Amino acid sequence: MQRLMSPGRFLGVLVLLLTQACSKYVYEHKEGRLSRGTFNFMKAYYYQGQFEEEETVEARNRQILNDLADLDGIGHLGTNKGLKEDPYYDEYMYRQQHARHGKAAVGYWQQKYKDKFNWQMLFSAENLHYDEKRFLREFRTTHLSGGKISDVLVATFEGRPLHYHDLKRVMTVSDYAQFPNYTEQALQSGMRDVLKAWLQKQIHDRMVWQMSADERELLRFDHNRVAVLFLKVKYGKAGKGIYPGGMEKIPLTPNEIYDHFHKMQNTLADVLWVKAAYTVVAEENLAEELIAKLDKGGNFPELAARYAMAPKFIPTAKPTVYQGYDRSKDIEAREKRDYYDRLIIDMAGRDVTKPEPYLGRDGIVIVRIYDVSRALEKIRLQDVSWKVENDLRLKLLGEVYEHDVRDARDWLKIQYNDWAIKRLP
């Protein structure tokens, strides 16, 4: 006989179901939440054209949610690695916020005007009236007379006055302070850009309100996107061009450095000569056929006679010795070498023992390297230790990055609201 659920337990289940049904959150974790409104905002302006291959709306939404959850994990990892204390953090958060304003505004305008818009038209359409000559004259006069620049009227928006101090929210502190000292041409161009940014923020804020998105949640995702850049540099996956930080200094033992030095000696030494052969074919499928036959022991020169895209690439399939050069001195000598000579020597210099098909200037290049002589005796650890340590750290950091991100996401203990997810548009 089936046991009936006790009244107390039934009430608990009912409360849980009602809580899920009434909740506006699609997931929650230790450091925050994701509301339906914020999800809809992110989906509309950050995931256009992504995950479109999914068969159902729900499947696509779950892919987006998984990506956002990964971003939350990256954001948590970035915080643990000291991102919020980094001297460049505020600047990059400012950039991300303004990029978000731009994404939302441009997305709104594209939907409304079908890509047929420019700034002059948008200023008029959105009731932003800006008399450039009047503003420049009044701004310059007020500045030269020692007046209060913050109260200078810049434009009107929807009939309301827009003063210089109202633009602080879309300008850096330094730009706001230095603006009065600009030349007239720079002032003219700069104010147009500031007004564009200000208008983008107004449209963004309107979309946030209409979609019931949460600005605090959006700021968290701004932080997450800054964390992506910060961690790419921290883990050696990108250079300082995307974020002015540095790679994490993993402590290394002398034995680890010495062992890695021997592993990468071939890439550090100059190539004295390399014995190799190559041919060029016209299409990728022909390259695959040729390589399959070579792997089975086929004769390269005989196969090249059948597969080469031109007669001149048949004799090149015979093993030939190519002389190397001193990479630190003979830069001009390298550039004067034949294109294919240079390609083969560079492959040997990178210690590529079995080169993959390479899309070259004439077609797909198939290379076979038989023997290489290197100036190993000239390589001393003390001369290249920084290269060895940097390369080893890159490898070690690359191995732990995905693991660290996964651990950070697991730590958040993300809880999904399936009831809400199934009803997302």
Give the Cα separation of 218 and 223 in Å (integer): 9
Strand partners, 161: 156
pLDDT digits (tens, 9 = 90+) for 275-292: 999 999 999 899 999 999
Q: Map out the domains of the chain as residue ranges.
A: 270-374
pLDDT class of 9 with cuts at 50, 70, 90? low
> 145: how many CB neighbours lie within 10 A of its CB?
7
Burial class (CB in 10 A: 0-12, 13-18, 19+), 396: middle
Strand partners, 280: 365
Strand spans (E) along 264-376: 271-281, 320-323, 358-359, 364-374
C-alpha dist (Å) from residue 57 to 44, 51, 54, 155, 188: 13, 10, 7, 43, 47
Report CA torsion sign: 13, 15, 17, 19: negative
The secondary structure of residue 269, as a DSSP letter, is S
pLDDT digits (tens, 9 = 90+) for 175-217: 888 888 888 889 889 999 999 999 999 999 999 999 999 999 9
* Percent of the chain at pLDDT exceeding 90: 57
Token readout for 284 is: 């990728």
pLDDT digits (tens, 9 = 90+) for 310-339: 999 999 999 999 988 777 666 666 677 889
Q: Which spans in 169-214 are helix H?
A: 173-178, 184-211
CATH for 270-374, options being 2.40.40.20, 3.20.20.70, 3.40.50.1240, 3.10.50.40: 3.10.50.40
Residues 6+ positions from 383 with CB-CB distance below 8 Å: none
pLDDT digits (tens, 9 = 90+) for 33-71: 999 999 999 999 999 889 989 989 999 999 999 999 999
In one-letter notation, the amino acid at residue 367 is V
Residue 210's pLDDT is what?
Answer: 95
Residue 263's pLDDT is what?
Answer: 86
For residues 381-393, one letter each, b for 16 or more C-beta atoms within 10 angstroms of the residue's C-beta and e for the rest, the string is eeebeeebbebbb
In one-letter notation, the amino acid at residue 121 is M
Residue 181's pLDDT is what?
Answer: 87
For residues 218-253, one letter each, b for 16 or more C-beta atoms within 10 angstroms of the residue's C-beta and e for the rest, the string is bebbbbbbbbbbbbbbbbbeeeeeebebebeeeeee
